[in-house]
Structure 1
Amino acid sequence: MQAVVEVPNFDFHPLPPWPVSAAAPYSFMPIHPTSSDTDVGLFVSALICGLEGDHDDPVAALLAEGTLSQPGGLRLTDTATRAVVAPGCCAGLEDWREWVDILAGQPPWLGHGPTPEVEIGIDELRVWQDNGANRHIGQSIVVERSALPELLNSVHRDLTGFLTCVQTWSERNGLGSKGTDLVEAIDRNFHMTAPLIFPEH
């Protein structure tokens, strides 16, 4: 289980003022404690792509926003079969903690086109890439229900570590206090460092 963000298509957005990782538009980039400066640059650039209009100081424009969002979410990969279930369109990284609600019997909304779905069983979860009419012949991944907390704790550690990468990136780019404010804004909007609380069984 990995936190991922969707790579923007810079053909339709202003080029970022810093280096970014080379990645195919609309692919998914994992974020984690060893993310490179260019990965962080891509993450922040994707945030900027969500703003209206052009900005002389894009970081200041981000900080002026009341709410930040980022297309993406959590991606599952079966290490044995290599099956992958990725977030659907309109899913956002900001909603990643909704996976916790599965343990209380409430499946999260994971986007559409395709429309991923979590089928909740007693001991297992089956995560489908698409809940359409032919879903039962489509790709899916089985997760032991008891394994979900540790998978989410691993994502939590990745996101917390990623914030350190953002702070380092902001220092290298000379953002000063705006860099610290950016870290706080990302943490607040994407709920990265707050403790994970699981429902009692």
Structure 2
Amino acid sequence: MVITMEAVIEVPAVTDGSPWPWPVAAMAPGSWWVLKASCADDRVGLFVTALAGQLDVQPPGGRDEVVDALLAEDFLIAAGGLQVRDSTIGTVVTPGCCAGLEDWRDWAQVLIGDSPWLGHDPGPEVEIVGDGLRVWQDGGPNRNRGRWAGVHVDLPHRALPGLLSGVQRGLVGFLDALTGWATRVGPQQRGTSLVKAIDKNFAITAPLDVQPFR
């Protein structure tokens, strides 16, 4: 059994050719992609575009205008969360509708016996099964009928702290990619402030309080 857990965002509906002030990767809207150190500049640009898409600033706003709007926000959010995959059998559980990457640390609630809110439609949920965890893709409707069924990923409870630490390492790597993007094609002087704002809003480098399972 090979279980991986990664931070993902939902690709926003960005029309090809829209005049965003930086290159934006062409990806299928509604699909998921992983935030990691190896992300190319156009994918980092897509992430920043996803953040800006939550605001009132839309193209043809200039680069500085878009970044200033992001920096003026009290809270930055992005549709996404954590994706869990069993690479052995190819099963994947993705965040539900309205889940946010900014809440990724809520997964630590599982360590005290609670299931974090992972979005709705179809309503992913974590079930504690003995010493293990079962992450359901569709937890809502089936639970209302008194049972769960369908796509799920099983993992040992004791594996969760290490998986969450791995998620944080991936996000720190993405933050490095964001820093490079800001230098090469992004807002340059404003880039340092943008990186700090994203780090703060998505709780990337702050200490991660996960205790090993006992």
TM (norm. structure 1) is 0.94
Structure 2 residue 122 is matched with structure 1 residue 114: yes
Secondary structure at 2:102 match in 1: helix
Please list the CA deviations of residues 96-153 of structure 1 after superposition, one character each: whole Å capped at 9, or x if unmatched. Answer: 0001111011110000111000002331000000113446331001011011111111
Which amino acid in the other structure matches residue 28 of structure 1? W
Local SS of the residue matching 2:121:
coil
Change (3 A) 1:15 1:128: farther
1:1-201 pair list within 5 angstroms: 1-11=5-15, 15-54=19-58, 55-56=61-62, 57-134=65-142, 136-173=148-185, 175-199=187-211, 201=214
Contact 2:138 2:149 in 1 (8 A): no
Indicate if the aligned counterparts of 1:118 and 1:127 stay in contact, CA closer than 8 A: yes
Q: What one-letter code is carried by the residue in structure 2 that aligns with 1:65?
A: E
User: What is the aligned length?
Assistant: 201
C-alpha contact 1:104 1:199 (8 A) present in aligned 2? no
Q: Take 1:198 and 1:41, find their aligned partners in 2: how far apart are those partners?
A: 31
Would you say the 8 A contact 2:107–2:116 is kept in 1?
Answer: yes
Provide the rounded CA distance (Å) in 1 between the counterparts of 2:150 and 2:129.
Answer: 18
Taking the aligned partners of 1:97 and 1:15, their CA distance within structure 2 comes to: 34
Matching residue's letter, 2:117: W
Instruction: Provide the secondary structure at the position in 1 that maps to 2:97.
Output: coil
SS in 2 for 1:193: coil
RMSD over equivalenced CA pairs, Å:
1.8
**Cα contact 1:32–1:158 (8 A) shared by 2:** yes
Between the aligned partners of 1:115 and 1:95, the Cα distance in structure 2 is 15
Q: Among all aligned residue pairs of Structure 1 and Structure 2, give the percentage whose two residues are the same amino acid.
A: 50
- Partner AA of 1:92 in structure 2: G
TM-superposed CA distance for 1:53, in Å, is: 4.1
Shift of 1:11: 3.9
Q: Against the structure 1 CA distance between its residues 199 and 29, is the aligned structure 2 distance closer, same or farther, given a 3 Å change threshold? A: same
State the SS of the aligned residue for 2:140.
coil
Q: TM-score under structure 2 normalisation?
A: 0.88
